[in-house]
Structure 1
């Protein structure tokens, strides 16, 4: 009984100490310290990924999104963006049982003097989705939801990589 109480008290003491000192995992607040004050994003105007990345960058106080590349300290170049869907498994009748969805983005970041801050970087995300012929509309909706989830995950990965850039 005494050892349980001692363990419980020591656990509470450690948790209170960590909470009291302001300890937080880096990026856990959703705020990142970017090594530049302005950025130009080379996404098409209708790109949902570009819109979400802009929204996340604007959420922080330190970065301006420039519409003119010549005014930006950093240039985010999209080298490729693609979504894919491939058959992952078949049932005993040869019909699709599972698909594998993929979302790939290839990008680089340059400074105003055209020097690479981050070389060509590829991020590929994959999600598996079960398929049922009797629920085609529901599965299409689930597929779109998975792509939106991958897009949000991709934006967070981009934000972390932008924050990790070492200024020249």
Structure 2
């Protein structure tokens, strides 16, 4: 294919994508400049992912001290749960249910609640086999990471919708 024709096709494809409103997803613009994370475990993977997503926002930064923040997101519950859903007659586990749970609230510097206590619970079912224990352990970790990312995305959308900060 000739270089001129290739450039023309690339320009046409770009024009079509631009005309349809295609745009890469980016971090939402949050309506406050600083936020503090409170109540999370020290090494919580959920808190770390939330911190990275908030810092990716062009308008907001995470600060360590609540006294320096315009708003504080307080984790009331940050938990991962695992329960047996099905087992064989011999008592071997066949299916597990994994749950990721975050209960949080958002308040401003004056202590007024902007988002009342809200709970996000996600669950995934997973088959299990003793002969594939290592692979199933990796699958479980992958499912937890996926649920964690979903929870962070939901929290970010809720933070972006907050109004009346002052």
TM-score calculated relative to the size of structure 1: 0.81
Cross-structure match for 1:23: 21
Runs ≥4 residues deviating over 3 A: 15-22, 91-94
Cross-structure match for 2:62: 65
Residues 111 and 117 in structure 1, CA contact (< 8 A), matched pair in contact too: yes
> What do the CA deviations read for 1:80-136 (whole angstroms, capped 9, x no partner)?
111111112233544321100001010000001100000000000101110011111
Q: How many residues align?
A: 152
Q: Closer, same or farther in 2 for the Cα pair 1:92/1:44, shift >3 Å?
A: closer
**Whole-angstrom CA distance in 2 between matches of 1:111 and 1:123:** 21
Q: Closer, same or farther in 2 for the Cα pair 1:44/1:96, shift >3 Å?
A: closer
Cross-structure match for 1:37: 33
1:81 aligns with 2:78: yes
RMSD (Å), alpha carbons = 2.1
Any gaps of 5 or more consecutive residues in structure 1?
1-14
Any gaps of 5 or more consecutive residues in structure 2?
1-12
Secondary structure in 2 matching 1:70: helix
Q: CA deviation at 1:35?
A: 1.4
Q: Closer, same or farther in 2 for the Cα pair 1:22/1:71, shift >3 Å?
A: farther
Q: CA deviation at 1:139?
A: 1.0
> What do the CA deviations read for 1:26-75 (whole angstroms, capped 9, x no partner)?
xx613202111110011233111111111111112110111111111110
1:155 aligns with 2:152: yes
TM-score calculated relative to the size of structure 2: 0.82
